[in-house]
C-alpha cells in the first residue's frame, strides 16, 4: 500500500514567491501595515493567496504577539437561558475584535470549575470571564498568579473586576408588587445557596415583608435545586400546607414554569387562585400561560459589558483599578399576578 503523503502547509514564503514579492510585503497585506502596499501589489498577493489556498498560522502569530486571541468563558449551565444570552452577547463583542471564545460548561460542579481553570491557564488564554458557583477567590487564584486577566460575574469581590446585578432590589420589588396587590401570605421558592449575589433576592423578600409589618414565616420558604421539575415539586410542598400562599415569588423564570404547571395540575388557577412572580425575564416568560410577571435581569447588557471589559483588561490590565459594576433591575408586570381571591 502506498504511503499517503500529508500535503505541505502553504507558508508566507510560498505566497511571496508565487506573487513575486517579498515575505514582508505579504505580511503588510495581511496586517494592513505597518507599511503601505500599492493596489497592484495587493491584488497580486491576494490572487496568490486564493490560488494556493493559504491561511495564516494563528499559533505562530500568537507567539510573535505574545497573545492567543482567545477568551475563556466559564458558566454554571449553558442550559439556563440567562447564561446562554450572556454568552451570546459576550461572544459577539469578542468576535468583532477577532477573539475566539472558549465556552466551558461547569454544570454547577466545583471540580469542573477547577479543571476548566487549569485547562484555560495551560492554553494561555488572554483572559477569563467566569460566573463561579463556590469559593470564587480561591478558584481564580491560579489565573491571577499567571497574570491572566479575570472578570467575575454575579459577584462583588475585593480587588477583583466584577459585574453584578442589584439582586437585593430585585427581591424587594418582586415582593412589594405582590404586597401592593393585597397579598399577605407570600411564598418564596429559592435556589440552594451559592456564592453568587442572587442569594440576596431572599434578603430583599424578607426586607419587603418586614417593611410591610408582616412576620417572616419560614414554612412559606422552600429551597430547591434548579429546573422546572424542582420548581413543581417545591410548589407541591406549598400547596400541601394547611394554609397555602396566595402568591409565590420564585428564584427564576425556569422554576416559575414548574410552579405554574404544579398549580394547574392541582386544579388551581394562575392568577385567580395563586399569583406567580418569576425572575430574569427570559425570552419564554412572555409566552407562558398566563404570561409571567417577572423581574427583568439585564442579561444582554451584562454580556456586552463583560465582553468589552475583558478585552479592555487584556489590553490594559495593569492600569485599570478593580471595581464592581452593579446593573439595575426592573419589574415587568404581565398577567400572572392579580389581587388575592376574596
In this structure, what CATH number is given to the domain that contains residue 303?
3.40.50.2300
Query: Which pairs count as long-range contacts for 193-196, CB under 8 Å and 24+ apart, including other chains?
Result: 194/108, 194/133, 194/134, 195/132, 195/133, 195/134, 195/135, 195/136, 195/155, 196/131, 196/132, 196/133, 196/154, 196/155
Sheet arrangement for strand 150-153: 100-105, 70-75, 127-130, 150-153, 161-165, 324-327
Do 125 and 219 lie in a common domain? no
3-state secondary structure of 308: helix
Tens digit of each residue's pLDDT (9 = 90 or more) over 169-198: 999 999 999 999 999 999 999 999 888 999
Do 224 and 241 lie in a common domain? yes
The confidence score (pLDDT) of residue 28 equals 73
The confidence score (pLDDT) of residue 145 equals 94
- Report the domain count for the chain: 3
The fraction of the chain above a pLDDT of 70, given in percent, is: 91
Tens digit of each residue's pLDDT (9 = 90 or more) over 130-162: 999 889 999 999 999 999 999 999 999 999 999
What domain range is 52 assigned to?
12-56
Query: DSSP alpha helices (H): ranges in 150-298?
Result: 167-180, 200-211, 228-239, 253-265
Q: Could you give the CA distance from residue 253 to residue 262 in angstroms, rounded to a whole number?
A: 14
Do 308 and 281 lie in a common domain? no
Do 78 and 33 lie in a common domain? no
The confidence score (pLDDT) of residue 62 equals 47
Q: Could you give the CA distance from residue 334 to residue 239 in angstroms, rounded to a whole number?
A: 23
Do 152 and 177 lie in a common domain? no
Q: What is the CATH number of the domain that holds 18?
A: 1.10.260.40
Q: How many helices (H) and strands (E) does the chain have?
A: 12, 12
Domain membership flag for residue 63: no
Tens digit of each residue's pLDDT (9 = 90 or more) over 47-104: 877 786 666 655 455 444 456 899 999 999 999 999 999 999 999 999 999 999 999 9
Domain membership flag for residue 6: no
In DSSP terms, which residues pair with 152 in a beta bridge? Answer: 130, 162
Domain membership flag for residue 338: no
Domain membership flag for residue 333: no
Domain membership flag for residue 7: no
* pTM reported for the whole predicted model: 0.83
Do 137 and 190 lie in a common domain? no
Do 161 and 171 lie in a common domain? no
The mean predicted confidence, pLDDT, of the chain is 91
Amino acid at each position: 500500500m502506498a504511503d499517503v503523503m500529508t500535503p505541505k502547509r502553504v507558508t508566507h514564503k510560498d505566497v511571496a514567491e508565487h506573487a513575486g514579492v517579498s515575505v514582508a510585503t505579504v505580511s503588510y497585506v495581511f496586517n494592513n501595515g505597518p507599511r503601505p502596499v500599492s493596489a497592484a501589489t495587493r491584488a497580486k498577493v491576494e490572487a496568490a493567496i486564493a490560488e494556493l489556498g493559504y491561511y495564516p498560522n494563528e499559533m505562530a502569530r500568537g507567539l510573535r504577539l505574545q497573545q492567543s486571541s482567545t477568551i475563556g468563558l466559564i458558566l454554571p449551565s449553558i442550559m439556563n437561558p440567562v447564561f446562554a444570552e450572556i454568552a451570546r452577547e459576550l461572544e459577539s463583542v469578542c468576535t468583532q475584535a477577532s477573539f475566539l471564545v472558549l465556552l466551558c460548561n461547569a454544570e454547577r460542579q466545583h471540580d469542573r470549575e477547577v479543571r476548566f481553570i487549569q485547562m484555560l491557564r495551560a492554553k494561555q488564554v488572554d483572559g477569563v470571564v467566569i460566573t463561579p458557583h463556590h469559593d470564587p477567590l480561591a478558584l481564580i487564584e491560579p489565573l491571577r498568579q499567571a497574570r491572566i486577566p479575570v472578570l467575575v460575574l454575579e459577584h462583588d469581590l475585593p480587588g477583583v473586576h466584577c459585574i453584578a446585578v442589584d439582586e437585593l432590589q430585585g427581591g424587594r420589588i418582586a415582593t412589594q408588587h405582590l404586597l401592593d396587590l393585597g397579598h399577605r401570605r407570600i411564598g418564596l421558592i429559592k435556589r440552594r445557596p451559592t456564592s453568587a449575589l442572587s442569594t440576596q433576592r431572599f434578603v430583599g423578600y424578607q426586607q419587603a415583608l418586614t417593611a410591610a409589618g408582616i412576620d417572616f414565616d419560614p414554612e412559606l420558604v422552600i429551597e430547591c435545586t434548579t429546573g422546572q421539575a424542582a420548581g413543581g415539586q417545591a410548589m407541591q410542598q406549598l400547596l400541601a400546607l394547611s394554609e397555602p400562599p396566595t402568591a409565590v415569588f420564585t428564584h427564576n423564570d425556569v422554576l416559575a414554569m414548574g410552579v405554574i404547571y404544579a398549580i394547574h395540575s392541582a386544579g388551581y388557577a394562575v392568577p385567580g387562585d395563586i399569583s406567580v412572580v418569576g425572575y430574569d425575564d427570559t425570552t419564554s416568560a412572555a409566552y407562558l400561560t398566563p404570561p409571567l410577571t417577572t423581574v427583568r435581569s439585564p442579561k444582554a447588557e451584562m454580556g456586552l459589558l463583560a465582553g468589552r471589559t475583558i478585552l479592555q483588561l487584556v489590553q490594559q490590565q495593569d492600569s485599570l483599578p478593580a471595581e464592581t459594576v452593579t446593573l439595575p433591575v426592573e419589574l415587568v408586570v404581565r398577567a400572572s399576578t392579580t389581587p388575592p381571591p376574596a
